[in-house]
Amino acid sequence: MFADRKDAGRRLAARLRSLGDQDVVVLGLPRGGVVVAFEAARALGAPLDVILVRKLGVPIQPELGFGAIGEDGVRVINPAVVEAARLSPEAMDGVEEHEREVLRRRAEQVRAGRPKIPLAGRTAVIVDDGIATGSTARAACQVARAQGAARVVLAAPVCPPEAVERLRPDADEVICLETPADLGGIGLWYHDFRQVGDAEVADLLRRAADELTQPETGEARPHPRDGAGRAETTGRGGDAGHGPAAGRGEGGEHRPYRDEEVQIPAGAARLPGTLVLPEDADAIVVFAHGSGSGRHSPRNRYVAGVLNQAGLGTLLFDLLTPAEEADRRNVFDIALLGERLRQATAWLRREQAPTARLGYFGASTGAAAALWAAAGREADIAAVVSRGGRPDLAGDRLADVTAPTLLIVGGRDEPVLGLNRSAQQRLHGESRLEIVPGATHLFEEPGALERVAELAGDWFTRHLLRTHARSA
């Protein structure tokens, strides 16, 4: 494991030092990849820039990507998803137009007025903090080619071997420090996998430019490499020993907890999950991910970490097996997903925490599954939170939900906002609709996901924690 992204960047730099005699530009994939890329650029004495790509999400279900775009008009499409979602060219063009505007704004924000570094005739080293499927990395390689790079090197601390093979046609060289057959999730390979904001990316680009340029002449100066190799061999670096973000508060205090990988029985299937129980936890939140996602969703993991620090246990698990996911109809089968959630809930009560109060946190289609599973008093669910959810997909079961329900929607996620307003009218228990101003469906904007975590933490604390109920 890596202590954090800085540690990963220092170790990755050791593998990249052979490129030091080439005309290199290091390009970080925002946001986390830029932290890793900053360390690599320092070791190589090379300029640092970002390479920007955006996922193209299916309308009304943006977490499911049908392709990606990058700067300079690069577009990568997944025909299988296009066919399964029955997307028209007009619908695809509408999504692309919106994402290109987001791409433009993101470039302005993180570069903060600095021009894009030209790649023509140079070696582009594209760096991310980890690669899962490789679709974003593939688009980034094609962007670099379109910008005139003579050679493209893709580098990451961790990626599965099958992703390496898929990326070889798009990169001249693929460098990964760890290539596990069972990746699990990128965040599992870091002790500290905190979120990185646009402001931090902009600051790293500024620092890299300042370190590389002589203030007196404005000319590039060679970067001292002598210490780089020694730093790379020290292993964890200064941040070694810190626990995962789920167990640390804003001030760095550590909360003891049990963290283990589990297998949840669901009929003939076995569903992998991650169970985290802070010391003396008497409440657990079960997460239901959206389509195109899984138990390693970085957004859900971030929210789970905030809940853990508040004293709540969390269970993140895959609602479907890999074979089931291959049939796209299962991804939108709310009854199937809701039943899996109920089976996980029953397993928790039977084998892990028979007296704990339970809540559901659902994202996108996972919110529909959470509400489906919470319907009826016999479900005995104490609270539900929906993030960018599709509660309408729970259908008639909405009227049977009596658990206190919080609906969180981005202010710019207008179609989903309308669906949530209508669904709230059909809920029979306590409910509240919270709109996060300026946020889109995935809450990628600075501070948006933090606000989601804050709202969810307050809701679950109030409705789940017995100690809070007694003090109130």
User: Phi/psi of residue 194, each to 5°?
Assistant: -65, 165
Expressed in percent and rounded to 5, the helix, strand and coil fractions of the chain are 45, 25, 35
Residue 74's pLDDT band (cuts 50, 70, 90): confident
Q: How far apart are CA 249 and CA 255, in angstroms?
A: 8
Order of all β-strands in the sheet with 173-178: 48-50, 24-28, 123-127, 151-158, 173-178
pLDDT of residue 448: 85
pLDDT of residue 334: 94
pLDDT of residue 216: 37
Identify the DSSP state of 351: I
Whether 222 shows a pLDDT value over 60: the answer reads no
Order of all β-strands in the sheet with 405-410: 257-266, 269-278, 313-317, 283-288, 357-363, 383-387, 405-410, 431-436
Residue 213's pLDDT band (cuts 50, 70, 90): low
12's CB contacts (< 8 A; 6+ apart) are 36, 39, 40, 127, 155, 156, 157, 175, 177
Q: How far apart are CA 53 and CA 327, in angstroms?
A: 27
pLDDT of residue 249: 39
* Cβ–Cβ < 8 Å for 53, 136: yes
Q: Give the tens place of pLDDT for each residue, 254-308.
A: 445 677 889 999 988 999 999 988 877 789 999 999 877 788 777 888 888 888 8
More confident site: 245 or 87: 87
Lowest-confidence segment of 20-29, 106-115, 399-408 by average pLDDT: 106-115
Q: Kind of pairing, strands 431-436 and 405-410?
A: parallel
Residue 63's pLDDT band (cuts 50, 70, 90): low
304's CB contacts (< 8 A; 6+ apart) are 246, 276, 285, 287, 314, 316
Q: Look at residue 338 and give its three-state secondary structure.
A: helix
pTM: 0.55
Whether 253 shows a pLDDT value over 80: the answer reads no
Q: Which two tokens stand for residue 381?
A: 């669910």
Whether 214 shows a pLDDT value over 60: the answer reads no
Task: Compute the average pLDDT of residues 356-367.
Answer: 94
51's CB contacts (< 8 A; 6+ apart) are 27, 28, 29, 70, 71, 124, 126, 140, 143, 144
89's CB contacts (< 8 A; 6+ apart) are none
The average confidence (pLDDT) of the chain is: 83
Mark residue 15 as left, alpha or beta (left: phi above 0; alpha: psi -120 to 50; beta: remaining). alpha
More confident site: 222 or 453: 453
pLDDT of residue 225: 30
* DSSP secondary structure, 410-448, as one string: ETT-HHHHHHHHHHHTT--S-EEEEEETT--TT--STTH
* Cβ–Cβ < 8 Å for 244, 191: yes
- Per CATH, 5-213 and 256-471 having the same topology is answered yes
Q: How far apart are CA 45 and CA 43, in angstroms?
A: 6
Whether 367 shows a pLDDT value over 90: the answer reads yes
Helix 298-309 / helix 448-464 crossing angle, nearest 10 deg: 50
Highest mean pLDDT among 110-124, 134-148, 399-413: 399-413
In the chain, the amino acid numbered 372 is: W
pLDDT of residue 336: 94
Domain ranges of the chain: 5-213, 256-471
pLDDT of residue 256: 58
Prior bond of 31 cis (ω within 30°): yes
Order of all β-strands in the sheet with 75-77: 53-58, 61-70, 75-77
* Cβ–Cβ < 8 Å for 306, 248: no
Whether 227 shows a pLDDT value over 70: the answer reads no
pLDDT of residue 289: 92
Class in CATH terms, 256-471? alpha beta
CATH code of the region 5-213: 3.40.50.2020
pLDDT of residue 234: 24
